Amino acid sequence: MADISAAPVKRMPRGMFREMTRNTYAITWKELKAYFTQPMAYVVAVVFIAITGFFFVDSLSGPLPLANLYGYLREIRWVLLVLVMGAVLTMRSIAEEQKMGTLELLLTSPVRDWEIVLGKYIATLIFFYALLLLTMFYPLLLKIFASPDMGPIWTGYLGIALAGAMFLAIGILASSLTNNQIVAAVLTLGILFGLWFLYLAEGFIGGLPGSAFVYISPRSHYDALVRGILDTGSIVYFITVTISALFVATRSLESRRWR
């Protein structure tokens, strides 16, 4: 084992980078294992696969199946599902560590605060992407029996993947603010619904501030991707919000020391 791990190490910048990835990896791995020792992960997985399967069947049963597949209805359904899932998958993350006192060990071990946040985030992301990958079975099935336009399907999936990444990051942030899982979940849902429906503000504000609200809301960005528009701005939006949320979560974790 020593020989195998020693070889690539020499090519890497020694020391810090290696130690950082190592810490993050240790936390990610621990979190992933924790998912599978709890019934919650299985429940979420089964529910997710079942509901997306239903979405798929439903989208094929309309008069214009292919046009319907990534139509407006499908968009809000998916988002609702991913949004609730994001809250459920992340609510324990930091809140539970605080409640059980294990956060004290994490924060006194030679691991940086952002490594803790990132490690936990990557674990939820891997879990979510694994489920998302499973649902790709449906469009692939469609491809076998028909010839759908795969472009919007891929960008749609990219949209869900990016929105999910953002939702999970906000979930981690909410979980870092409290030591109560339920509070964390409700807070996540509150923030996400709030952000999502912010676009409605355009209706009664209008003008530049109105379009600013539309921009802040993830809806328009997601919508573009689902309609098959590979817009760099939208991708940048999701990545920016994700990174910001993780950054604030790190700060919030840090501030726990002062409380």
Partner 1 sequence: MIEVQNVSKFFGNYPAVEDVSFKVEKGEILGLLGPNGAGKTTIMRIITGYTPPTSGTVKVAGHDILHDSMAARAAIGYLPETVPLYTDMTVREYLLFQAAIRGVPNNKKGQRLEDVVETVRLNDYVDTHIGKLSKGFRQRVGIAQAIIHEPSVLVLDEPTIGIDPIQVVETRSLIKSLGGGDRAVILSTHILPEVSMVCGRVVIINEGRVIAEDTPANLALRLQNSRQVSADIRGPTKLVTAAIEKIPGVTSIHRESFEGHSQYIVECGVGNDCREELAKVVVANGWGLLSMQAKGMTLEEVFLELTTQEEA
Residues that bind partner 1 (CB under 8 A): 1-2, 5, 19, 22-23, 26-27, 30, 33-34, 37-38, 100-112, 257-258
* Least Cβ distance, residue 38 to partner 1 (angstroms): 7
* Least Cβ distance, residue 98 to partner 1 (angstroms): 11
Closest by CA position to 162, among listed 42, 53, 243, 73: 243
* Least Cβ distance, residue 126 to partner 1 (angstroms): 17
* Least Cβ distance, residue 176 to partner 1 (angstroms): 16
Q: Select 59 or 93, whichever has its Cβ closest to partner 1.
A: 93
Q: Select 69 or 95, whichever has its Cβ closest to partner 1.
A: 95
* Least Cβ distance, residue 142 to partner 1 (angstroms): 40
CB 90 within 8 A of CB 188: yes
* Least Cβ distance, residue 19 to partner 1 (angstroms): 7
Closest by CA position to 191, among listed 211, 170, 210: 170
Q: What is the C-alpha separation between 11 and 9, in angstroms, rounded?
A: 5
Q: Select 105 or 133, whichever has its Cβ closest to partner 1.
A: 105
What is the DSSP secondary structure assignment for residue 217, as one 8-state letter?
Answer: S
Residue whose tokens read 């130690």: 19
* Least Cβ distance, residue 116 to partner 1 (angstroms): 9
Tell me the CA end-to-end span of the chain in Å, nearest whole number: 43
Helix residue spans in the chain (DSSP H): 2-9, 16-36, 39-60, 65-69, 72-90, 95-100, 102-108, 113-135, 137-145, 150-177, 181-196, 202-205, 207-216, 218-226, 232-255
Q: Select 2 or 7, whichever has its Cβ closest to partner 1.
A: 2
Q: Select 30 or 143, whichever has its Cβ closest to partner 1.
A: 30
Q: What is the C-alpha separation between 222 and 201, in angstroms, rounded?
A: 17
Q: Select 126 or 158, whichever has its Cβ closest to partner 1.
A: 126
DSSP 63-74: SSHHHHHTSHHH
Q: Select 14 or 30, whichever has its Cβ closest to partner 1.
A: 30
